[in-house]
Amino acid sequence: MLKTRVITALALLAVLLPALWFAPLIWLGILIAVVVTLAAWEWWRMLFPANHKRAFSYAGLCLLSLSIWFMYASIDLIRLLLLLTAIFWIFLVPYLMRQSLNLDMTQWRWPLAISGLFIFPACWFALMHLRGGGLSLLLSVLVLVWAADIGAYFAGKAFGKHKLAIQLSPGKSIEGAVGGWVLVMSIAFVSVTVLDEMSLTSSNFFSLLLTNYGWLGLFGITSLCVVMSIEGDLFESQMKRIAGVKDSSALLPGHGGILDRIDALLPVLPVTALIATLFA
């Protein structure tokens, strides 16, 4: 299993890293469109575990939604899409998560399916806008999410005693979440002080926050992003447990599905991109 995970991870990096660094935006856009379409396919399979056949149609509909938004895209429309998606994650998802495994999916399947037609296009626009703002901007957002996950893992292993959401994800702890937050805040501090002074970074997300919102804004918004990355992970776990599946799919050998890899990014991307569009 470990060998499979490593091979899959290396293959993904071999595709992703050159696309981020060297590929024209159009090719990166095509790659991300494939990823979000596959994620939409998995989204339907989790929402309708007894009706997998229509997952392909739903994925196509999501791609069509992305195409329509793209055709009529203006900065104001993109901001609206990102705002609607941010509202979904900030207000609706916590309400659904409070119901844990008692969430009545007969009531929420179709609203969540419709929401997916906005969530995944918003993810595409967020990634493309962040990349368009510079590689440092996109990478700093990715590092924020990855650091929150890595810090939570190691802090949880070392200090975890109090469960964060035992029904949704028994392995996550409050201590782990705090550890992830500490690591992210440390990276943010180093990024806007040491690295910026040495001119080793430019136009990264943390610097953008400090420049436009000050230290309080940097602290508050970065903390919100850490919380939302955890929320994305837990919400997908909730959906999988209700659907009775271990992974969102088996598309990535040893890693599960696309949603298993990007669940923490889905809530963070629209928020960070929305902030970035305000200072475009």
For the chain, what is the mean pLDDT?
88
pLDDT for 9 beyond 80: no
pLDDT of residue 195: 65
pLDDT for 5 beyond 80: no
Each residue's pLDDT tens digit, 73-119: 888 899 999 999 999 999 999 999 999 999 999 999 999 999 999 99
What is d(CA 162, CA 165) in angstroms, rounded to the nearest whole number? 9
Q: Which tokens go with 213?
A: 């919102």
Of 51-55, 185-189, 222-226, 239-243, which range is least confident? 51-55
How many structural domains are present in the chain? 1
Each residue's pLDDT tens digit, 30-41: 999 999 999 999
- The domain of 44 spans 2-278
pLDDT for 1 beyond 50: no
Each residue's pLDDT tens digit, 194-234: 766 555 556 789 999 998 999 999 999 999 999 999 999 99
Enter the pTM of the model: 0.90
pLDDT for 174 beyond 50: yes
What is d(CA 141, CA 147) in angstroms, rounded to the nearest whole number? 10
Q: Which tokens go with 221?
A: 């918004």
- Residues with Cβ < 8 Å from 173, sequence gap 6 or more? 156, 159, 160, 161, 162, 163, 164
What is d(CA 149, CA 181) in angstroms, rounded to the nearest whole number? 9
The stretch 173-197 carries a mean pLDDT of 88
